[in-house]
């Protein structure tokens, strides 16, 4: 694929930077080279210069079925004929959605809807503190649970990832290494723990898989100490299984947070959990834990989620994305082997990430061996060849239901050429 003139993109970036700080609406969207998307269709996006890219970023995995997936868009359009938001009582569609989620997600006896994954984790943590009367929560190195102060620790190698945090909030979050059960046990010995919040697959840390016994061990530790186990299934939920990763691992947390693939790009998220815990939210008559949001349960988000769940129920979505995901992972292993460079391919189901390092990844610290310059250079070369994976260190990639075998064929061919070009340019212009 040829490289089009960057004029329209550059013009829009210049204009954006005047009215929007940095020209983007989320911190990590400011990538180099700059990309301004005009449209998306199925498994592709097109930029304002008319370049078409196979899209494996998929909006950080929020777009699961595909861009503009017809049945979802049509369902949303039909629902919008009757209004967008009512802000009082409940609609039949909200009830239907809660029932569907409760039917599929083992831990979700009751469900509340909110607007984003960050809101969902904030609500879940606050609830855990209320029901235990304790303050401290455990999170894991390298995982991400949203932008709020409760979880603003130890992400992408930074102990605190923002200025302006409230010390009291940050200090009440203690950090363990993913897959280190003994480390978590030590934190339980040292502190009164209200909750453990965990991505059951550490997708924000290049998709580290839980070792056998790790999630079960967290379950046992929380049960013994009377702490709340929160599975943050904002990425894994619906993407890996209608019941989330908990349905695959057969480990049932007390609370589950969901988002991203639930809405296929529409802003909707959810908290689900044991009835007796969920009843503490003040949506319930005697509840005392504040739960609110002006746009909660909005019509388009709920319609998109219902349409998506129904598609997952009746079409072979998981079979398709797991198969293409496996093709990507094994194909990339072969590409790296032919280039004779140290590489490991992580991922699960529809998620994949090619890392340039020796050995396997069990802990976040293993990821420090990844060759960051090659990782980013390779992804920039890939974009030049019509395949978009986020050019940021450790970013995972996502197969969508709309991707095809032909997309995978093209992507693996592009990967071969992109890797050769990245190695060549780094040999000629070593970074640093």
Ligand X SMILES: Cc1ncc(COP(=O)(O)O)c(C=O)c1O
Give the C-alpha distances (Å, rounded to integers) separating 110 from 68, 98, 255, 270, 271: 30, 7, 10, 10, 8
Return d(Cα 394, Cα 401) in angstroms, integer: 23
Residue 236 C-beta: closest distance to ligand X, Å: 8
Catalytic residue among 154, 232, 366, 371: 232
Give 225 or 271: the residue with its C-beta nearer to ligand X: 271
- Helices 299-314, 317-338: axis angle to 10 degrees equals 80
Catalytic residue among 144, 150, 245, 378: 144
Residue 291 C-beta: closest distance to ligand X, Å: 16
Strand order in the sheet with 136-140: 110-114, 269-273, 255-258, 228-232, 193-198, 136-140, 173-176
Active site residue 260: yes
Residue 156 C-beta: closest distance to ligand X, Å: 12
DSSP secondary structure code for residue 210 in this structure = P
Return d(Cα 432, Cα 428) in angstroms, integer: 12
As beta bridge partners, residue 137 has 173, 195
DSSP helix, strand, coil percent of the chain (3-state; round to 5): 45, 15, 40
Give 1 or 156: the residue with its C-beta nearer to ligand X: 156
Residue 412 C-beta: closest distance to ligand X, Å: 26
Return d(Cα 27, Cα 13) in angstroms, integer: 15
Closest CA to 270 of 284, 283, 255: 255
DSSP secondary structure code for residue 227 in this structure = P
Catalytic residue among 60, 260, 366, 378: 260
Residue 346 C-beta: closest distance to ligand X, Å: 15
Count, residues in the chain: 432
Task: Kindly provide the residue ranges of all beta strands, DSSP E only, lying in 56-182, ordered along the sequence.
Answer: 110-114, 136-140, 153-155, 158-160, 173-176
Closest CA to 228 of 341, 118, 338, 134: 134
Active site residue 378: no
Looking at beta carbons, which residue is closest to ligand X? 117
Q: What six digits make up the tokens of 85?
A: 């938001």
Residue 78 C-beta: closest distance to ligand X, Å: 25
Decide if 261 contacts 239 (C-beta within 8 A). yes
Decide if 55 contacts 14 (C-beta within 8 A). no
Give 69 or 139: the residue with its C-beta nearer to ligand X: 139
Contact residues toward ligand X (CB under 6 A) are 60, 116-118, 121, 144-146, 199, 204, 232, 234-235, 259
Active site residue 144: yes
Residue 292 C-beta: closest distance to ligand X, Å: 16
Give the C-alpha distances (Å, rounded to integers) separating 218 from 33, 34, 180, 201: 41, 41, 10, 13
Give 59 or 377: the residue with its C-beta nearer to ligand X: 59
Residue 93 C-beta: closest distance to ligand X, Å: 21
Residues belonging to the active site: 144, 232, 260
């Amino acid at each position: 694929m040829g490289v089009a003139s960057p004029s329209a993109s550059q013009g829009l970036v210049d204009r954006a930077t005047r009215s929007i700080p940095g020209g983007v609406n989320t911190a990590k969207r400011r990538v180099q080279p700059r990309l301004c998307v005009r449209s998306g269709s199925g498994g592709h996006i097109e930029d304002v210069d008319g370049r078409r890219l196979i899209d494996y970023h998929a909006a950080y995995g929020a777009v699961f079925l595909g861009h503009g997936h017809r049945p979802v868009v049509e369902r949303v359009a039909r629902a919008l004929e009757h209004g967008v938001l009512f802000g009082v009582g409940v609609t039949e569609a909200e009830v239907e959605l809660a029932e569907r989620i409760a039917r599929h997600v083992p831990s979700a006896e009751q469900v509340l809807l909110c607007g984003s994954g960050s809101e969902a984790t904030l609500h879940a943590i606050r609830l855990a503190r209320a029901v235990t009367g304790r303050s401290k929560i455990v999170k894991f190195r390298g995982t991400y649970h949203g932008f709020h102060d409760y979880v603003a620790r130890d992400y992408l190698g930074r102990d605190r990832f923002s200025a302006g945090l409230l010390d009291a909030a940050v200090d009440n979050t203690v950090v363990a290494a993913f897959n280190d059960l003994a480390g978590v046990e030590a934190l339980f010995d040292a502190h009164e723990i209200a909750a453990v919040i965990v991505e059951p697959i550490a997708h924000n840390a290049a998709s580290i898989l839980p070792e056998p016994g790790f999630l079960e061990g967290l379950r046992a530790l929380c049960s013994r100490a009377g702490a709340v186990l929160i599975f943050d299934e904002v990425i894994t939920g619906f993407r890996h299984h209608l019941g989330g990763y908990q349905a695959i691992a057969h480990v049932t947390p007390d609370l589950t947070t969901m988002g991203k693939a639930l809405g296929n790009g529409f802003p909707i998220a959810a908290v689900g959990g044991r009835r007796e815990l969920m009843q503490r939210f003040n949506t319930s008559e005697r509840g005392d834990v504040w739960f609110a949001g002006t746009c909660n349960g909005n019509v388009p988000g709920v319609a998109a989620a219902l349409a998506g769940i129904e598609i997952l129920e009746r079409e072979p979505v998981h079979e398709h994305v797991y198969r293409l995901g496996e093709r990507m992972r094994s194909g990339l292993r072969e590409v790296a082997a032919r280039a004779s460079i140290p590489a490991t391919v992580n991922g699960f189901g529809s998620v994949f990430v090619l890392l340039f390092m020796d050995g396997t990844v069990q802990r976040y610290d293993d990821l420090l061996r990844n060759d960051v310059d090659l990782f980013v250079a390779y992804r920039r070369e890939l974009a030049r060849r019509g395949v978009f994976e986020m050019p940021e260190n450790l970013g995972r990639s996502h197969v969508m239901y709309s991707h095809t075998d032909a997309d995978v064929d093209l992507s693996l061919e592009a990967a071969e050429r992109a890797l050769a070009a990245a190695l060549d340019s780094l040999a000629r212009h070593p970074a640093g």
